[in-house]
Protein backbone atom coordinates (compact mmCIF):
# COMPACT_ATOMS: atom_id res chain seq x y z
CA UNK A 1 0.00 0.00 0.00
CA UNK A 2 1.38 3.45 -0.87
CA UNK A 3 2.46 5.86 1.83
CA UNK A 4 1.78 9.59 1.93
CA UNK A 5 3.87 11.98 3.97
CA UNK A 6 2.64 15.54 4.48
CA UNK A 7 5.22 18.17 5.30
CA UNK A 8 4.52 21.53 6.89
CA UNK A 9 1.02 20.56 8.00
CA UNK A 10 -0.52 23.58 9.73
CA UNK A 11 -0.87 23.09 13.47
CA UNK A 12 -4.60 23.85 13.46
CA UNK A 13 -5.25 21.17 10.82
CA UNK A 14 -3.26 18.64 12.84
CA UNK A 15 -5.22 19.50 15.99
CA UNK A 16 -8.54 19.16 14.17
CA UNK A 17 -7.64 15.79 12.65
CA UNK A 18 -6.36 14.61 16.00
CA UNK A 19 -9.60 15.70 17.68
CA UNK A 20 -11.74 13.94 15.08
CA UNK A 21 -9.62 10.78 15.28
CA UNK A 22 -10.02 10.65 19.05
CA UNK A 23 -13.75 11.34 18.80
CA UNK A 24 -14.21 8.54 16.23
CA UNK A 25 -11.86 6.13 18.05
CA UNK A 26 -9.49 5.99 15.09
CA UNK A 27 -5.78 6.46 14.69
CA UNK A 28 -4.52 9.67 13.13
CA UNK A 29 -3.69 7.76 9.93
CA UNK A 30 -7.11 6.12 9.77
CA UNK A 31 -8.90 9.43 10.29
CA UNK A 32 -6.74 11.11 7.64
CA UNK A 33 -7.68 8.40 5.13
CA UNK A 34 -11.39 8.77 5.94
CA UNK A 35 -11.21 12.56 5.54
CA UNK A 36 -9.32 12.30 2.26
CA UNK A 37 -11.84 9.81 0.86
CA UNK A 38 -14.78 11.99 1.88
CA UNK A 39 -13.18 15.08 0.40
CA UNK A 40 -12.39 13.36 -2.88
CA UNK A 41 -15.90 11.92 -3.14
CA UNK A 42 -17.43 15.33 -2.47
CA UNK A 43 -15.25 17.06 -5.04
CA UNK A 44 -15.93 14.44 -7.73
CA UNK A 45 -19.62 14.45 -6.84
CA UNK A 46 -19.76 18.21 -7.29
CA UNK A 47 -18.20 17.96 -10.74
CA UNK A 48 -20.66 15.25 -11.80
CA UNK A 49 -23.62 17.23 -10.44
CA UNK A 50 -22.40 20.34 -12.31
CA UNK A 51 -22.00 18.36 -15.55
CA UNK A 52 -25.58 17.03 -15.30
CA UNK A 53 -26.92 20.51 -14.59
CA UNK A 54 -25.15 21.93 -17.64
CA UNK A 55 -26.61 19.13 -19.78
CA UNK A 56 -30.11 20.00 -18.56
CA UNK A 57 -29.52 23.70 -19.21
CA UNK A 58 -28.54 23.00 -22.80
CA UNK A 59 -32.04 21.63 -23.41
CA UNK A 60 -33.88 24.68 -22.00
CA UNK A 61 -35.93 26.86 -24.32
CA UNK A 62 -37.90 30.10 -24.12
CA UNK A 63 -41.00 30.33 -26.28
CA UNK A 64 -39.78 27.31 -28.24
CA UNK A 65 -36.41 28.92 -28.95
CA UNK A 66 -33.10 27.86 -27.50
CA UNK A 67 -31.33 30.27 -25.17
CA UNK A 68 -28.83 32.43 -27.03
CA UNK A 69 -25.15 31.76 -26.46
CA UNK A 70 -23.84 34.13 -23.75
CA UNK A 71 -20.69 34.77 -25.79
CA UNK A 72 -22.81 36.03 -28.68
CA UNK A 73 -24.81 38.28 -26.35
CA UNK A 74 -21.65 39.80 -24.88
CA UNK A 75 -20.17 40.39 -28.34
CA UNK A 76 -23.39 41.99 -29.51
CA UNK A 77 -23.46 44.25 -26.46
CA UNK A 78 -19.83 45.30 -26.92
CA UNK A 79 -20.40 46.17 -30.56
CA UNK A 80 -23.11 48.66 -29.61
Determine phi and psi for 72, rounding to 5 degrees: -65, -40
Give the model's pLDDT for residue 63.
73
Helices then strands, each counted (H, E), the chain: 3, 2
The domain limits of the chain are 11-79
Query: Distance between CA atoms of 37 and 20, rounded to whole angstroms?
Result: 15
Give the model's pLDDT for residue 1.
83
Bridge partners of 62, per DSSP, are: 65
DSSP state of 74: H
CA torsion through residues 53, 39, 4, 2, sign: negative
Give the model's pLDDT for residue 10.
96
pLDDT in tens, 28-53: 999 999 999 999 988 888 888 888 88
Contact in structure between 45 and 34 (CB atoms under 8 Å): no
Amino acid sequence: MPTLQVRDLPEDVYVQISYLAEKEHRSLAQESIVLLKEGIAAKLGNKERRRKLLEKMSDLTVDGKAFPDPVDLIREDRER
